[in-house]
Structure 1
Amino acid sequence: MGFGEKWTGWISWCISTATFSVLINGSPAGFFNSSRGLRQGDPLSPYLFVIGMEAFSRLIHRAVRGGFLSGCRIKGRSGDGAEVSHLLFADDTLVFCEASQDQMAHLSWLLMWSEAISGLRINLDKSEILPVGRVENLEALALEVGCKVGRLPNSYLGIPLGANHKSVAVWDGVEERFRRRLAVWKRNYISKGGRITLIRSTLSSMPIYLMSLLRMPRVVSLRLEKIQRDFLWGGGALERKPHLVNWDSVCSDIRKGGLGVRRLSNLNRALLCKWNWRYANEREALWRQVISRKFGEEEGGWYTREVREGFGVGLWKEIRKEGALLRNKVVFSVGNGRRVKFWNDNWCGNFSLSNLFPSLYAFASCKEAWLVELWDHSGDEGVWNPSFSRSFNDWEVEEVERLLLTIRGRRINPLLEDRMLWKESKDGIFSVKSLYSSLVSRGEVQFPYSNIWSICVPTKVSFFAWEAYWGKVLTLDQLKKRGRSLANRCFLCGMEEESIDHLLIQCSKARVLWEILFALFGVTWVLPSSVRDTLSGWCGFKLGKKRRKVWNAAPLCIFWAVWKERNRIAFDNEELSIHRLKNSFVCNLWLWTKSVVNEDPLSLINFFDWLGTR
């Protein structure tokens, strides 16, 4: 393979000088050298394994060139097609050959030679022959190699080979993993804040691998999202409880009033679209060469041609459909100009010249011209020389001047390749996250996310504040709207009807806590009449960075203290205790925020004194 003598000496020294010892009763009992290569888990092991498999790959290539193995010939539209003899990934190997006794014998010899050369032994107990179509004497072919007989569909690297990619059954394993994970979680009580964290970090991520290759059927996405909804509002047992906020709002970005749960259908589209980006940029990759030869390329080589066949092409056909998302969100960085069109590609900003100057485009001599064709290399720097089918009228001269101003300063560089840049990111590199964000964008929504999702406050408290902001907490007025026949009186003051705005803001008992808060900070504040207005207008100007963090956490602390006290009265038949209410507020505020103060260990009294300082 061309490794130098010095390098091979280093590797030999690393392997031959390693010694091992066995612990007997906790003490090492002598040392011995390894006779079977590296130990399992050695950092050098995966690198040497890759080198060993590279030698095996060379053997297969030589066998194909010699006619001993046939490989897999993929027909293309232009007739040349592509040939793939084998695929290697980690310790999984897929070899393509004819279903003949001779080729099975040749493959068996290759495996034997590879074992003799590298010392790596093939595990035939885990190996299978997978027939494609009707194959005679299958048992005899398997016996020749010494492995088992498998059948399609079969799983390879987690992908169901040979399965109908539109089949709902392909996704049964994902749903089963959902339910197995929930079976573990339902044993413990998990707050809503904990549930939303688990949904975002675990449940939403489970189907990503399959979604990055296959189009998820709508019925599957609806089922999986229903599981997530039921878990969010009902807990691990998937109990039937009211879904307080609609799923579209839940799936919105946190900055726009949602919970940041990913919508599976949009995530699926973004993941599939990434393959179109990779196709445009990974020009030397094997998979790209196979796709290119099978379906052909559009001019410029950024995209494949439209997939029109009706059988055996569904996987790429679905991926290419999402190429439209890519076309609308890319611009081109000009290099040699051989792959970018002058009029129809976005190389002068976010719009093509044909859209910016439609009247000039109408009588352009060559509407499909490449940049390099309209670049005149004469002179020191070169100039643009677009051609038109007729002379300009007087009223068109100004339009021509605008065109020349637009393209001025942009030039061809023969030493560089043209590049595709992603408009939705600062570095021009495609990301699934940026595309997903653009798909679910709800425009400009004013939402005080930083006041609700405070880093100081437990997630369950922020979740409650989020529900309160949208007016979805199950107070008595909300229960009456849902058909419950209840007498509506505030549990704290007993004077007014209970609503979330009354309970947390307007109630005379809750006002006691607001007065304590303002006194602690030494500020005067006109409190709004609703939770939404309070959170939207809450700001801590001129308080200093650290005190502002405590100030921002304080409303949520009041909400939580009032809500817990209300529930003690409603469900535990306890009497209202103003002392307990005050104590709950001040202690929680101290416990939640003392870590962000970064002062010396702060007692409760010192904490109050510190809040009052300017």
Structure 2
Amino acid sequence: MLAQEITHYIKKPQEGDNVVIKLDMAKAYDRVSWAFTCIAMRTMGFGEVFIDLVWRIMSNNWYSVIVNGSRHGFFHSTRGLKQGDPLSPVLFILGVEVLSRMLNLLHQDQNYKGFHMQIGGPQINHLCFADDVIIFTAATRSSLQLIMKTLSTYEVVSDQSINKENSHFMVPTNTPMETIDMSIPIHTMASISPPKTTLNYIKRVTTDFFWGWDKEKKKYHWASWETLSYPYEEGGIGVRKLEDICKALQIKQWWNFRTKNSLWSQFFRAKYCQRSNPIAKKWDTGQSLVWKYMMKNKTIIEPHITWRVHFGNILFWWDDWLGEGQFAQHDDTINNLNNIIVSYFLQNGHWNETLLRQEAPLHLIPKILNYKIHYQPGMLDEAVWKPTGSGDFSCATAWQICRQKKDSNNINSYIWHKHVPFKISFLVWRALRYKLPTNEKITTFGSSPVNCSCCRRPGKDDINHIFVNGDFAKYIWEWFSAPCGVYHKQTYIKDILYSWWGMENKNDVHKLILQAAPIIVCWNLWKNRCAAKYWSKQSSITRVKFLITKDIYLLINTAYSYIQWPTTWHEMIKIIELCKQDIRIWQISWEKPPQNILKLNTDGSALINPGKIGEGGILRDHKGELVYAFSILFGNGSNNQAETLAPSHGIEWCLQHGYKKILLEVDSELLVKWLQLTAKPP
């Protein structure tokens, strides 16, 4: 990303043009000089004992050459690192570090002019990643000569060799960046947001692969990729849209930019935010695509970022540390929007109320004064990602924020089980949506209607006939349903599946059977139908019963391999009924607090998470007698917010009424971890 951003302004006027050089190292690992590596380690301060150990590992290389199947010679190597050795990448990077420092020293030469960079930002003249090196410089004769001299010196001392044929350079008047033939093209280095045309192409190829080919011809796509790209519980097949993945990674870009002081974030700030805060900044024509996406998505991301104050180094106006949003955007009447940090308003770790009343928004001063600061001098303030309980950023939660959601449905979740192969569950998914190539469906493509091939009394070849209403299907369902205690007279596939999935289970094995058995039955009914239609194989109830029983046996034997399972259906059911439910009993009872101590029990919840939240609590003394109780409705929030607000309100009431010895009991494990500081609270 940083390389892409630097090259974005390659046409920036200077004394001569800018140039980007991409180096290719020939046989980089194989040419590493052992002596050079040891000298580099010694210069960097590594101990002699450690260097000797590394030398022994590197130099213990002997080779033979196999010619026509016979081994010849046994000779000692003099250079190179063993690829696959976990130590090799570290040793190689130590050697490249020498080149990096040599290139950095060029800034001290008055004849060297670097690539145009923003004044006040980091002056970068190269980037390295393993054996990939990109150099940024001005296209002046003196600068290029100094770089070539540096590279030649590095080749001599390290025994490395630059492959000039496979190295490339780019200047403003040269071929466009995206058409340069590189092993790692500059325009795609860290390209997290590919163009829509690229995403559409990848999606098209993926879709064609998913549905398959028939004699070099694409098969019909029974459902769009957009329909498939949802979680199981929302009616999809668990794949994610490329657009949503890219957007989640864009959110990660903004998080890293706002919360980390890395080289690329320093560069972006110097390039775009020297005169204004990133929160107030807007994208302008001519700025890079990466910055455009960051500006576009920041309004989505910022409400999910808050800050925990330790020393007060974050910005008072522009960082959301109170949980009320940025103060700069909270009140249009505020004129003095500067870069004052929070510690400006602190005095010995406490708020300076006089300063606050002079500059802070008046309606927020009471909340600011009530804000508890965990003052720790020298400890930087922390960014907290609200969607996770730990406060750490994750792409999974970012994806949940940016994606389009559908309502969850239990039937969508029941289709999928970790012990059932994907193709079997996917068949049921298609059957429930009438997206199978039945004769009824094929007639819409111009084919003549044909009756089913699986029953003695042929009927209409549609989904419900094949899976539910046909004579063949009815017999199979009755055979497997009766021993399980499932009785149904349904005429639709959805209803017959509901009758299995909605039945109360007796134990975990029974639960597995109720979920997976109807899926396996559907799979074998469809296989029987296709065998009769396309392979002229006569329908056989005996064969289908055997195949279903075999599949169920494999399923439960995989899930519960420690049980000796019979191979017949009715015997399986007898064993399943003998299985005992794994019941764990905990005695839960309220205990009175010690004398002179009050016990506060609280709870909170959201109607929909997130949604409208409420809280409640009860305060009792050592006799168990009621002291105080409350029940409060709030606005919108999450379960975690409700669980946190409830004890906060109860403790605040206790302190206001002079009760200081309080024992708090809650049922939120996450809240307990926050209070014990074993997890990072938001």
TM-score (norm 1): 0.74
Q: Could you tell me which runs of 5 or more consecutive residues in structure 2 were left unpaired when the two chains were aligned.
A: 1-43, 580-682
Instruction: Provide the C-alpha distance between the structure 2 equivalents of 1:548 and 1:529, rounded to a whole number of angstroms.
Output: 24
**Shift in CA distance, 298/440, structure 1 to aligned 2, threshold 3 Å:** farther
Secondary structure, aligned partner of 2:123: strand
Instruction: Confirm or deny: 8 A CA contact 1:470 1:532 kept in the other structure.
Output: no
Match of 2:172 in 1: 133
Instruction: Confirm or deny: 8 A CA contact 2:328 2:334 kept in the other structure.
Output: no
Match of 1:335 in 2: 310
**Aligned letter for 2:312?**
G
TM-superposed CA distance for 1:541, in Å, is: 3.8
Match of 2:62 in 1: 20
TM-superposed CA distance for 1:68, in Å, is: 4.7
Structure showing the higher helix proportion among its residues: 1
Instruction: Confirm or deny: 8 A CA contact 1:503 1:510 kept in the other structure.
Output: yes
Match of 2:264 in 1: 287
1:531 corresponds to which of 493, 511, 529 = 493
**Shift in CA distance, 383/512, structure 1 to aligned 2, threshold 3 Å:** farther
Match of 2:127 in 1: 87
TM-superposed CA distance for 1:449, in Å, is: 3.9
Instruction: Confirm or deny: 8 A CA contact 2:212 2:219 kept in the other structure.
Output: yes
Match of 1:166 in 2: none
Instruction: Confirm or deny: 8 A CA contact 1:298 1:304 kept in the other structure.
Output: no
1:306 corresponds to which of 282, 286, 289 = 282
Instruction: Provide the C-alpha distance between the structure 1 equivalents of 2:368 and 2:170, rounded to a whole number of angstroms.
Output: 62
**Aligned letter for 1:20?**
W
TM-superposed CA distance for 1:525, in Å, is: 3.7
**Shift in CA distance, 484/437, structure 1 to aligned 2, threshold 3 Å:** farther
Match of 1:271 in 2: 249
2:200 corresponds to which of 222, 226, 230 = 222
Secondary structure, aligned partner of 1:316: helix
Match of 1:53 in 2: 96
| Mapping for residues 5-404 of structure 1, pairs under 5 Å | 5-16=48-59, 18-20=60-62, 22=64, 33-36=76-79, 38-74=81-117, 76=118, 79-128=119-168, 130-133=169-172, 153-154=179-180, 158-161=184-187, 213=191, 215-235=193-213, 239-283=217-261, 285-297=262-274, 305-310=281-286, 313-341=288-316, 345-349=319-323, 351-352=324-325, 372=342, 375-377=345-347, 382=351, 386-387=356-357, 403=367
The reply on whether 1:436 has 2:399 as its aligned counterpart is: yes
**Shift in CA distance, 486/73, structure 1 to aligned 2, threshold 3 Å:** same
**Aligned letter for 1:60?**
L
How many equivalent residue pairs? Answer: 531
Instruction: Confirm or deny: 8 A CA contact 2:211 2:220 kept in the other structure.
Output: yes
Instruction: State the identity %.
Output: 23
Instruction: Confirm or deny: 8 A CA contact 2:114 2:137 kept in the other structure.
Output: yes
Deviations 1:469-517 (A, max 9, x none): 2232233443345554415568426365443234323334323222222
Instruction: Provide the C-alpha distance between the structure 1 equivalents of 2:94 and 2:551, rounded to a whole number of angstroms.
Output: 59
Secondary structure, aligned partner of 2:408: coil
**Shift in CA distance, 96/533, structure 1 to aligned 2, threshold 3 Å:** same
Match of 2:575 in 1: 610
Instruction: Confirm or deny: 8 A CA contact 1:251 1:260 kept in the other structure.
Output: yes
Instruction: Provide the C-alpha distance between the structure 2 equivalents of 1:497 and 1:39, rounded to a whole number of angstroms.
Output: 67
**Shift in CA distance, 516/59, structure 1 to aligned 2, threshold 3 Å:** same
Instruction: Provide the C-alpha distance between the structure 1 equivalents of 2:544 and 2:80, rounded to a whole number of angstroms.
Output: 69
**Shift in CA distance, 381/541, structure 1 to aligned 2, threshold 3 Å:** farther
**Shift in CA distance, 365/445, structure 1 to aligned 2, threshold 3 Å:** same
TM-superposed CA distance for 1:577, in Å, is: 2.4
Secondary structure, aligned partner of 2:393: coil
Instruction: Confirm or deny: 8 A CA contact 2:231 2:237 kept in the other structure.
Output: yes
TM-superposed CA distance for 1:243, in Å, is: 2.7
Deviations 1:244-286 (A, max 9, x none): 2343221112221102332222322222332222212230x22
Q: CA RMSD in A?
A: 4.0
Instruction: Confirm or deny: 8 A CA contact 2:306 2:321 kept in the other structure.
Output: yes
Secondary structure, aligned partner of 1:243: coil
Deviations 1:4-36 (A, max 9, x none): 3343333334345x2525387999988654322
Instruction: Provide the C-alpha distance between the structure 1 equivalents of 2:346 and 2:121, rounded to a whole number of angstroms.
Output: 37
**Aligned letter for 2:64?**
V
The reply on whether 1:590 has 2:553 as its aligned counterpart is: yes
TM-superposed CA distance for 1:429, in Å, is: 2.8
**Shift in CA distance, 530/304, structure 1 to aligned 2, threshold 3 Å:** same
Instruction: Confirm or deny: 8 A CA contact 1:447 1:536 kept in the other structure.
Output: no
**Aligned letter for 2:396?**
K
**Aligned letter for 1:352?**
G
Instruction: Confirm or deny: 8 A CA contact 2:309 2:381 kept in the other structure.
Output: yes
Instruction: Confirm or deny: 8 A CA contact 2:114 2:143 kept in the other structure.
Output: no
Secondary structure, aligned partner of 1:72: coil
Instruction: Confirm or deny: 8 A CA contact 2:115 2:125 kept in the other structure.
Output: yes
**Aligned letter for 1:577?**
S
Instruction: Confirm or deny: 8 A CA contact 2:434 2:463 kept in the other structure.
Output: yes
**Shift in CA distance, 503/374, structure 1 to aligned 2, threshold 3 Å:** farther
Instruction: Confirm or deny: 8 A CA contact 1:270 1:435 kept in the other structure.
Output: yes
Instruction: Provide the C-alpha distance between the structure 1 equivalents of 2:382 and 2:275, rounded to a whole number of angstroms.
Output: 16
Deviations 1:54-102 (A, max 9, x none): 112222222331235323121x3xx445422222111122223344444
**Shift in CA distance, 587/575, structure 1 to aligned 2, threshold 3 Å:** same
Instruction: Provide the C-alpha distance between the structure 2 equivalents of 1:22 and 1:237, rounded to a whole number of angstroms.
Output: 48
Instruction: Provide the C-alpha distance between the structure 2 equivalents of 1:419 and 1:468, rounded to a whole number of angstroms.
Output: 51
2:475 corresponds to which of 502, 512, 515 = 512
Deviations 1:454-475 (A, max 9, x none): 2222221111011112232233
Instruction: Confirm or deny: 8 A CA contact 1:334 1:412 kept in the other structure.
Output: yes
Instruction: Provide the C-alpha distance between the structure 1 equivalents of 2:52 and 2:491, rounded to a whole number of angstroms.
Output: 79
Deviations 1:387-420 (A, max 9, x none): 279999xxx9xx987x479x44345544332332
TM-superposed CA distance for 1:325, in Å, is: 2.8
TM-score (norm 2): 0.67
TM-superposed CA distance for 1:38, in Å, is: 4.1
